[in-house]
């Protein structure tokens, strides 16, 4: 084995544009470069910014040669794929476990049915757009996953979101407040919709606000898909019999 | 090392209730048992059904003793936690990479901003509920992730979903149709909203329907969060300068 020296480039928090530009520059100079995100790089994270910057700068992007079975509808907007990446970047996005999946696993199973993910950060998005999304998600009875609920500077948005959701959903709706999921400092707090603003919430917190179907059992929350309404589950622990499970349920 | 014999219990497709009941029964009999899902067990998968069945049967659930920092608001509905799990199950949900994260990584970065996940399966959910969710998600300009778009028996739902979304969204909206993400048979097809019903779609397909902001660049789709609108990105590949990234952008 050969020891590979690794160069680590880091920027402070909140320097996302700088950090991504530096990663792109490093790759263009001929180095392999990994841009690291917590969770999944494509869910509220840096993968999108790579595309934003490359598009603005006109940097061609290619998939690794190992990418198989890529079919695209011809639009005339894309160059032919090429192995010659001297004038562009070869980009591979490696998926991970997003905070919504890690947090859900700790809370129980809130996301086994339809859900919406909404960031409350209005630094890059107009608040009116965020309000509309919250209201529509509440009306449609989605389980709602809230990213970026509060920060030092953004203090009132979660309280406003709570009001908007309460207009369409029961005040006792179960809520899981998960901070630092799967990390040393992980913490789960269960509460209800009308009290969610009182929970301790930080930058690593993701909230899960139940739909009308979301239930509490023991110290877990879950959203049933309705199997046990459709199929008979025998009560009594010893039973293995189910009513009529011979149907597709997906 | 001791060799551990492993017992594999499997049922056919569409026998979810049977399968989960067998796993619960195995655990209650004193064996360690892992219930395996593709992707993430909590996103449109079997974790929810474990809770459904345990609740119906009154089987107490406990977290592993290693679970730290669990705080719950007392509701009187939960038993005290106990190490004596003879009369119940100790349950740990291990998160994974959901199809929406794996598919998004192949398609580009469609989920870097708010999105809604909707299953088109009306076997356990009323179609009116699904229609309302599709319409609300389209109105709110969410990126829409479609699970279970079509099956042998459910053939018309995707066409109807397309109509509902077209009422609120441009017909040229980019769509990525990802089948078997990260598996041997993976396939990505890029198309547009008004043509999405013509794509080859199966049980392993997840669709990503762009928001009004979702863009195509090369053969990727992505949803910008708006960094490059707010901050100046210098054109020209050599530039590392960004305008004013010294602000929180999350």
Instruction: Quote the pLDDT of residue B243.
Output: 36
For B154-203, how does the pLDDT look when each residue is reduced to its tens digit (9 = 90+)?
A: 999 999 999 999 999 999 999 999 999 988 888 899 999 999 888 889 88
Instruction: Give the Cα-Cα-Cα angle A70, B141, A138 (nearest 5 degrees).
Output: 120
> To probe the interface with A, which of B217, B231, B235, B244 has the most A CB atoms within 10 Å?
B217
Q: Which residue is closest to A93 within chain B, CA to CA? A: B105
* Cβ pair A101, B43 in contact under 8 A: yes
Instruction: Quote the pLDDT of residue A218.
Output: 87
Q: Among partner residues B121, B237, B248, which is closest to A14 by beta-carbon distance?
A: B248
Contact B69 A186 (CB under 8 A): yes
**Cβ under 8 Å to A: B residues 8-47:** 13-18, 21-22, 25, 28, 40-45, 47
Other Cβ atoms less than 10 A from the Cβ of A93: the count is 23
Q: Which residue is closest to B235 within chain A, CA to CA? A: A57
Instruction: Give the Cα-Cα-Cα angle B78, B79, B80 (nearest 5 degrees).
Output: 120
* Cβ pair B134, B161 in contact under 8 A: yes
**Cβ under 8 Å to A: B residues 74-113:** 75, 77-79, 81, 91, 93-98, 101-102, 104-106, 108-113
ipTM: 0.89
Contact B21 A215 (CB under 8 A): no
C-alpha closest to that of A53 among A21, A92, A80, A85: A21
Dihedral angle computed from the Cα positions of residues B51, B55, B57 and B58, in that order, rounded to the nearest 10 degrees: 120
**Residue B136 contacts A where some CB pair is shorter than 8 Å:** yes
The two three-digit tokens of residue A192, written as one number? 């209800």
Query: What sections of chain A are H helices per DSSP?
Result: 16-28, 47-57, 99-107, 127-139, 157-166, 227-230
Instruction: Quote the pLDDT of residue A78.
Output: 45
Residues of B within 8 A of A245 (CB-CB) are 14-18
Residues of B within 8 A of A14 (CB-CB) are 245-250
Instruction: Quote the pLDDT of residue A197.
Output: 83
Contacts of A205 (CB under 8 A, 6+ apart): A149, A150, A177, A178, A179
- State the sign of the Cα–Cα–Cα–Cα dihedral A32, A38, A39, A41: negative
Q: Cα(B165)–Cα(A127) distance, rounded to whole angstroms?
A: 23
For residues B73 and B20, which has the higher predicted lDDT (pLDDT)?
Answer: B20
Q: How confident is the model at residue A247 (pLDDT cuts 50, 70, 90)?
A: very low
Q: Return phi, psi of residue B38, to 5°.
A: -70, 155
**Burial class, B122, CB count within 10 angstroms (exposed 0-12 / middle 13-18 / buried 19+):** middle
Contact A48 B182 (CB under 8 A): no
Q: Cα(A247)–Cα(A177) distance, rounded to whole angstroms?
A: 36
Contact A95 B94 (CB under 8 A): no
* Shortest Cα distance, chain B CAs vs residue A139, angstroms: 8
Residues of B within 8 A of A223 (CB-CB) are 48
Instruction: Give the Cα-Cα-Cα angle A231, B96, A113 (nearest 5 degrees).
Output: 35
Strand order in the sheet with A220-222: A108-109, A220-222, A215-217
The overall average pLDDT reported for chain B is: 85
pLDDT at residue B49 is higher than 60: yes
C-alpha closest to that of B204 among B157, B158, B147: B147
């Amino acid at each position: 084995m050969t020891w590979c020296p690794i160069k680590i480039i880091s920027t402070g928090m909140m320097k996302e544009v700088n950090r991504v530009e530096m990663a792109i520059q490093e790759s263009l100079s001929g180095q392999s470069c990994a841009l690291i995100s917590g969770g999944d790089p494509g869910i509220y994270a840096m993968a999108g910014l790579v595309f934003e910057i490359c598009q603005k700068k006109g940097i061609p992007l290619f998939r690794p040669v190992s990418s198989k079975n890529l079919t695209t509808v011809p639009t005339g907007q894309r160059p032919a794929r090429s192995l010659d990446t001297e004038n562009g970047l070869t980009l591979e996005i490696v998926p991970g476990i997003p905070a919504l999946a890690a947090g859900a696993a700790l809370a129980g199973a809130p996301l086994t049915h339809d859900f919406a993910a909404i960031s409350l950060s209005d630094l890059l998005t107009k608040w009116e757009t965020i309000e509309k999304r919250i209201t529509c998600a509440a009306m449609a009875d989605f389980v709602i996953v809230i990213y970026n609920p509060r920060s030092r500077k953004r203090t009132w948005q979660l309280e406003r979101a709570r009001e908007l959701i309460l207009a369409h959903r029961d005040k006792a709706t179960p809520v899981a407040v998960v901070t630092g999921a799967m990390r040393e400092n992980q913490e789960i707090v269960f509460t209800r919709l009308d009290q969610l603003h009182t929970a301790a919430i930080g930058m690593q917190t993701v909230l899960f606000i139940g739909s009308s179907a979301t239930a509490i059992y023991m110290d877990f929350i879950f959203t049933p898909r309705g199997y046990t309404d459709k199929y008979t589950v025998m009560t009594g622990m010893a039973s293995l019999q189910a009513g009529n499970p011979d149907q597709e349920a997906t």
